[in-house]
Chain A
Amino acid sequence: MGLSVSLKKKVNGFTLDVAWEIEDELAVLFGYSGSGKSLTLQMIAGLIRPDEGIVRSNSKTYFNSSAGIDTPPWVRSFGYVFQDLALFPHMTVLRNIIFGAPEIPKDEKVSRAKEMIEAFKLKGLEDRYLSEISGGQKQRVAFARALIRQPEVLLLDEPFSALDHPLRLEMRRFLQEVRERFAISVILVTHDFDEASSLADKLIVYSHGKVAQVGSLQEVMNQPSSTEVQMLVNTKKL
């Protein structure tokens, strides 16, 4: 599934004005903190309303300001993994995952959740609360919850930034497995070039609320569109 995005938004003196498209691939929104990457994800998901623009997947237009289309976030088909994961502290692991599948008929819910638990190596943790599982396990719960209703696109807002290095490497491998297993388009927001370069099919480089360059890792590294992009990709970690 692809996604086509064109967004304009003014907030507190910051102007975001971006347009890009992705195919069935893993695209990385890459840039300094405060360049508008997370804001873009929130507007794609419908959590923040753009001043104008378009959000369109292959199958559906979710937002089109000139046509007056603005689908609420709960109707959009995006899986969202938040930076702090946003798992529900008052629910068990199983309940958290089932919560991600409101449209699925009741009797199917549990069996689907069990499949996800199997796939995400969470077996035996079903009845635990979040305070009782590890950081890596929490990450997997967040992914399972976001994927159970088979969204068109998976949106990841720096989900690995709080992890220590070995776990971050493990989660990168895990993300690639998820990609293969669910055959889903992914948009990953990060300011970690290591992460971007090891995962991206396509890099979308952000700078001050604008798209500075779009291309494959090779293209961006070999032919940076500006000195700023060059600096961005040469700085290992921002």
Chain B
Amino acid sequence: MDNSILFSARLSLQVALVATAFIIITGVPVSYFLAQKNFKGKELVDIIFTLPLVLPPTVTGYYLIVIFGRNGLIGKMIYDWTGFTIMFTWYAAALASFVVALPLMVKTTRAAIESVDRNLINAAYTLGHGEIETALRVILPLARKGIIAGTVLSFARAMGEFGATLMLAGNIPGKTNTMPLAIYSLANSGEWTQAHTMVILLTIMSGLFLYIANMYTKRSI
């Protein structure tokens, strides 16, 4: 296989894996709080975590530039302290994928946690287990199929991220051109053979992930 295809495939995997790791770390606690706790502004939090699912990825990317760009709200502070900017690096691609794919994790995991029988949670409490222990030993294990399905869906979404990545990381060959971006460039320049290979590769991989996610969501009902 062509070196540039291999590079893009490897980069896409790397970006999606890193994004998914952070999605699990962030998504599970956020989903837990949304499912179990009643607090002021809960619906607002839910909306913020769902918005990237419905916004055009370019809009999400635009927000990310406003926040993490070199002159952005947080990006400027980071740049002033360290001289580093996330813009046009593979980290930016991972950040974009993280933000765009996180809602899939939160939606799926929240639903799974909400479907855990309230009596089982109460039983754990009356048996002397506090909230954290009950979450770790009863709620999350019983919601695990939803969590796995959410993880797989997020991973597949992260693999296919295009718009926000383009805004934040650019489309730099050999640096930030993940598979979707590479396909865009190849199609633009009429290099169909390589484009075909990547399109087929990405389709098979995404189909496989959906199959895995379906297996888990079906079983969790």
Q: Cβ of A89 and Cβ of B128 under 8 Å apart?
A: no
Inter-chain CA distance A203–B141, complex, in Å, is 41
B129 interface residue per 8 A CB criterion: yes
A143 interface residue per 8 A CB criterion: no
B122 interface residue per 8 A CB criterion: yes
Q: Cβ of A102 and Cβ of B119 under 8 Å apart?
A: no
Q: Out of B122, B125, B142, which one reaches A89, CB within 8 Å?
A: B142
Contact-residue size bin, chain B (C-beta under 8 Å from the other chain) = 10 to 19
Task: With both chains docked as a complex, state the minimum distance between the C-beta of A97 and any C-beta of chain B, in angstroms.
Answer: 10
Q: Out of A78, A89, A103, which one reaches B126, CB within 8 Å?
A: A78
Inter-chain CA distance A235–B22, complex, in Å, is 61
Task: With both chains docked as a complex, state the minimum distance between the C-beta of B50 and any C-beta of chain A, in angstroms.
Answer: 29
A209 interface residue per 8 A CB criterion: no
Q: Out of A76, A84, A90, which one reaches B141, CB within 8 Å?
A: A90
Inter-chain CA distance A226–B142, complex, in Å, is 48
Q: Cβ of B126 and Cβ of A88 under 8 Å apart?
A: no
B124 interface residue per 8 A CB criterion: yes
Contact-residue size bin, chain A (C-beta under 8 Å from the other chain) = 20 to 34
Q: Cβ of A47 and Cβ of B127 under 8 Å apart?
A: no
Inter-chain CA distance A79–B127, complex, in Å, is 7
B120 interface residue per 8 A CB criterion: yes
Task: With both chains docked as a complex, state the minimum distance between the C-beta of A131 and any C-beta of chain B, in angstroms.
Answer: 15
Q: Cβ of B120 and Cβ of A74 under 8 Å apart?
A: no
Nearest A residue to B130, CB-CB: A74
Given A89-B142, A102-B133: A72 and B125 within 8 A (CB)?
yes
Q: Cβ of B141 and Cβ of A74 under 8 Å apart?
A: no
10 closest A-B pairs by beta carbon, nearest first, are: A86-B123, A80-B126, A73-B125, A86-B119, A102-B128, A100-B127, A47-B122, A74-B130, A74-B128, A74-B125
- Interface residue ranges, A against B (CB under 8 Å): 42, 45-47, 72-76, 78-80, 82, 84, 86-90, 99-103, 145-146, 149
Some 19 contacts from A to B, beta carbons below 8 A apart, are A45-B122, A45-B126, A46-B125, A47-B122, A73-B122, A73-B126, A82-B119, A86-B119, A87-B123, A88-B138, A89-B142, A90-B142, A99-B124, A99-B129, A99-B137, A100-B128, A102-B133, A103-B128, A146-B127
